Structure 1
Amino acid sequence: MAGRMLQFVDTEREMPEKRDAGERREDFLEIYGDYIEVKAEEQAARCSQCGVPFCQNHCPLQNNIPDWLKLTAEGRVEDAYRVSAATNNMPEICGRICPQDRLCEGSCVIEQSGHGTVTIGSVERFLTDTAWDNGWVEPIKPRRELPLSVGVIGAGPAGLATAEQLRLQGWQVTVYDRHDRAGGLLIYGIPNFKLDKAIVERRTQRLIDGGIEFQLNTDIGVDISFEKLREKHDAIMIATGVYKARDLSVPGGGASGVTAALPFLIDSNKRGLGDDIASETADGKDVVVIGGGDTAMDCVRTAVRQGAKSVTCLYRRDHANMPGSRRETANAQEEGVTFEWLAAPKSVHDDGGSVSSVRADRMRLGKKDASGRQSPEPMDGADFDVKADLVIKALGFTPEDMNVLSPELSVSRWGTVKVNPVSFETNLEGVFAAGDIVRGASLVVWAIREGRDAAEHIHGYLVDKLQNAAQEAAE
């Protein structure tokens, strides 16, 4: 069987078929097709089975990538799926939305040798999609029921991963979320053309079928006080994410037609889910998106599909320093998005109170900043105007005010929740936190990793609590 591997010399890298840009501009369907089994086996067999698996080392979840690639190449698809699922609560989601070009695939030895990386994300997606189709994804069945309960605040990837891991141990778990659907950014932030919402909903349904309770439309600190929640549950997990948009601090930034990225994406996703949403779309408008991350790419590509007249992305650094996925940027360019590199908004102009254009400074890169990237500096006399009926701010996210939960909760100077870096416990006993609310805006895969790690320590905390109660009763 080992002869199946190391095929990268004879077999070219081949991604699943991608829909034509002209076709995919017209709808919100996923743009990549699925591998058939023989193609997944062929591409998995390109793996070199490195002695030091850099792909695994650069995966936040430390997924056993070489193992499940080898099993796939050998035709042992169910076994490969089980190895993949052992370290990841949502492999098919990560296979779709992880920036593999910056993580596992970007660290692939074959890629470094010039042969083209193994298509790790696409094989990962194939395995779990196949598992769902064949009924291999088993329901959550705790070996025993345990009496203590956990309240999880936030139904995004960190909260859902925590809830699943704790439920597998037998604890009673309730997940609270302010929205009317579970999934956090998976359901409302990431567009359908990257992640079909049925995939998220079947994950959520599996958790419900496994005995996890969801209380949606429930804003902790508003509908239920944090203290009441602590009284109700034996442990609390804070996994609220970061949703406060960074503002556009330029003259005219408050004009009508200037909007934050998240409301724009949420409304679009709600329409896709069948909700009647009255807000305006990009249809027929000249759209300018400000920012260079994955959220900006989601916005420009959503605007294209809503029928925008033109879509321009302004980013203050060059292409090489853009934080978003190279793959997503390339997809946006194929779909007709214009990129203005080294351009930063200087002011927003309006006509009768409604935005009409964005004036931008042409930038150059200067000395490196604390992050190691060159700092952008405006060039004198090099500003220019971009016509705009709609301006979308995709400048990143910061934490909301955690005082709404509890003024006693310790936070950093950035507003993130402070935790013990090993146990994820906050300064409040029995209260844990993980995901973006701790590390700042980051990747879904990191949220899953931290949710799993936090669950392990919450489990230990609850076990100790049970044992102490038993000891006290015996005395």
Structure 2
Amino acid sequence: MGKITGFMDYPRKTSTETEPLARLENYNEFHAWLPREEQQTQAGRCMDCGVPFCQSGLMLGGAASGCPLHNLIPEWNELVWRGKWRLAFDRLRATNRFAEFTSRVCPALCEAACTCGEVTGSPVSIRENERAIVEMGYSKGWVTADPPPARTGKSVAVIGAGPAGLAVADYLNKRGHAVTVYEREDRPGGLLMYGIPNMKLEKQVVERRVKIMQAEGVEFLTGMNVGRTVDAAEVLAHHDAVVLCCGAKQPRDLDVPGREAEGVYFAVDYLTSVTKALLSGGPAALTAEGKNVLVIGGGDTGNDCQGTALRQGCAGLLALEMMPEPPAGRTNTNPWPEWPRVKKTDYGQTECAARFGQDPRVYQTTVKEFLKDEAGHLTGAIIARLRPESDPDTGRTRMVPTGEEFEYPCQLALIAAGFTGCESYTAEAFGVPLTARGCTAAQDYTTPVNKVFTCGDMRRGQSLVVWALREGRDCAARVDQYLMGYTNL
């Protein structure tokens, strides 16, 4: 695919980024994308590799290798290389109807599995090729509202307007079912709107897609908290099927002394408050301005908190990572095309190093105690150092205190330690049981409750946007089969 010798002739090039200190002045996306001709050249690096792991989506080593959506990557790389952008857009849309999201926030499982990356050390710039294709589609007017030519007379309620909810609603609406999406927040998008900061995904990108879906006939009802302010029995009675897509938003807490101190918040609440302030033009309910900030937990959420706190003007920043520092490169136990379990330095750490002169992460640490003053305000935290130890019963590695501790003075602490499953009240309102992992119990997206289905993080647990889209697509086919007795999705 692409130019036969392209992987040898052309070095990998990607978008340039605004200098770290300069981009801290705003919350905008900070990439300067390649011009069209250069993007076509990059697509020409795609090899005729024979076995395109990039699109496989296989589970290897406990993680996905390649795209879970099975995007036809070699095909649209070939078309971009030849300048056939419209055909490339059609091939991309055949498997991914939300490429404007994945091309910005997906960690590029495809690139980690790219054969060219294994051969040359630099994979094809698949994610940026994907972004170029979908944005070309918008600029050329190829992305337009296309309502279904006929309706089936069946109605579906989708609870939750995150990526899984948007995907299942889009596919079922295209099939001709009447789809109503119930969203408890004031805007659709779920974590796309309020969990991922503007620097990674500007909110007009989400709103642009929602408007197209509305023009195609999908109804969005915001401020509708099903299971609390909206009766689940009424929703069930008014629709032929219900799909629960409420995400995995039950944050993992810390059970340590001083947790109740004012100034200790969950990361998702902090990020939501900042995004809402940006959208409304008002001040944020939670701010890091002038404060020393402690971020507890790594991963994308922790990184997003770091980048956001820096933009708010924090005075200092420390990020705790419980596990040991990952290796710089693949080990023998982590061969290609497995997902590389290596150290990743993201935009937040890069910006912190530019602002304060060092990476904010401290590995093998956790909070032992939060400190507070007489008024109950957070003043600092006692940090315990940890070491890995093999559990004699299970053989699994666990982190245990070494006895060494230090104090970090801080006025804002953000818990970004992951999630323990979905918030249970919506599932309980519909009578859907939960698993031991806090997810909705379902087999092939079908719950034990008649005409109630579930997908996304609510079903599989905290995961990637690309997996939410895959779940929504597959669940839509299951719902369609239930409603019509067959499916062409």
* TM-score interval (norm. to shorter): over 0.9
**How big is each residue's C-alpha offset from its partner over 1:334-365, in whole Å with a ceiling of 9 and x where there is no partner?**
20151111111111112222111111111222
Residues of 2 paired with 1:436 and 1:277: CA distance? 31
Which amino acid is the alignment partner of residue 218 of structure 2? Answer: I
Which amino acid is the alignment partner of residue 461 of structure 1? Answer: Y
Pairs within 5 Å for 1:41-190: 41-57=40-56, 58-100=66-108, 103-190=109-196
The runs of 4+ residues in structure 1 deviating greater than 4 Å are 321-328, 368-373
Pair 410,404 (structure 1): closer, same or farther in 2 beyond 3 Å: closer
| Secondary structure at the counterpart of residue 313 of structure 1 | strand
Instruction: Tell me if the contact between 2:2 and 2:48 (Cα under 8 Å) persists in the aligned partners.
Output: no
**How big is each residue's C-alpha offset from its partner over 1:16-62, in whole Å with a ceiling of 9 and x where there is no partner?**
11111111111111122222111111111111132111110121111
Instruction: Tell me if the contact between 1:140 and 1:167 (Cα under 8 Å) persists in the aligned partners.
Output: no
Q: Does 1:455 align with 2:471?
A: no
**How big is each residue's C-alpha offset from its partner over 1:117-149, in whole Å with a ceiling of 9 and x where there is no partner?**
111111111110111011011313212111110
Q: TM-score, normalised by structure 2?
A: 0.90
Residues of 2 paired with 1:379 and 1:207: CA distance? 54
Q: Does 1:437 align with 2:458?
A: yes
Q: Does 1:330 align with 2:346?
A: yes
Instruction: Tell me if the contact between 2:295 and 2:306 (Cα under 8 Å) persists in the aligned partners.
Output: yes
| Secondary structure at the counterpart of residue 70 of structure 2 | coil
Which amino acid is the alignment partner of residue 70 of structure 1? Answer: E
Pair 350,369 (structure 1): closer, same or farther in 2 beyond 3 Å: farther
Instruction: Tell me if the contact between 1:68 and 1:84 (Cα under 8 Å) persists in the aligned partners.
Output: yes
Which one of the candidate residues 220, 227, 231 is aligned to 1:225?
A: 231
Q: Does 1:21 align with 2:37?
A: no
Residues of 2 paired with 1:370 and 1:31: CA distance? 48
By how many angstroms is 1:385 displaced? 1.5
Which amino acid is the alignment partner of residue 441 of structure 1? Answer: Q
Pair 141,241 (structure 1): closer, same or farther in 2 beyond 3 Å: same
2:485 aligned partner: 464
Residues of 2 paired with 1:313 and 1:246: CA distance? 17
1:469 aligned partner: none
By how many angstroms is 1:213 displaced? 0.6
Residues of 1 paired with 2:343 and 2:224: CA distance? 36
Residues of 2 paired with 1:84 and 1:43: CA distance? 17
By how many angstroms is 1:244 displaced? 1.7
Which amino acid is the alignment partner of residue 77 of structure 2? Answer: L
Residues of 2 paired with 1:34 and 1:276: CA distance? 31
1:292 aligned partner: 298
1:317 aligned partner: 323
Residues of 2 paired with 1:314 and 1:383: CA distance? 13
Q: Does 1:416 align with 2:439?
A: yes
Identity within the alignment, % = 36
Residues of 2 paired with 1:181 and 1:443: CA distance? 21
RMSD of the TM alignment (CA)? 2.3
Residues of 2 paired with 1:21 and 1:354: CA distance? 32
Residues of 1 paired with 2:441 and 2:343: CA distance? 34
Which one of the candidate residues 304, 309, 330 is aligned to 2:310?
A: 304
Which amino acid is the alignment partner of residue 450 of structure 1? Answer: E
1:263 aligned partner: 269
Q: TM-score, normalised by structure 1?
A: 0.92
Q: Does 1:360 align with 2:383?
A: yes
Which amino acid is the alignment partner of residue 27 of structure 1? Answer: N
Residues of 1 paired with 2:196 and 2:312: CA distance? 15
Residues of 2 paired with 1:281 and 1:181: CA distance? 22
By how many angstroms is 1:328 displaced? 6.8
Pair 372,282 (structure 1): closer, same or farther in 2 beyond 3 Å: farther
Residues of 1 paired with 2:222 and 2:10: CA distance? 49
1:470 aligned partner: none
**How big is each residue's C-alpha offset from its partner over 1:154-211, in whole Å with a ceiling of 9 and x where there is no partner?**
0000000000001111110000000010000101110000001110000000000001
| Secondary structure at the counterpart of residue 346 of structure 2 | helix
By how many angstroms is 1:297 displaced? 0.8
By how many angstroms is 1:404 displaced? 6.0
Gaps of 5+ in 2: 57-65, 329-338, 353-358
Instruction: Tell me if the contact between 1:291 and 1:315 (Cα under 8 Å) persists in the aligned partners.
Output: yes
Pairs within 5 Å for 1:276-287: 276-277=282-283, 279-287=285-293
Residues of 1 paired with 2:394 and 2:472: CA distance? 26
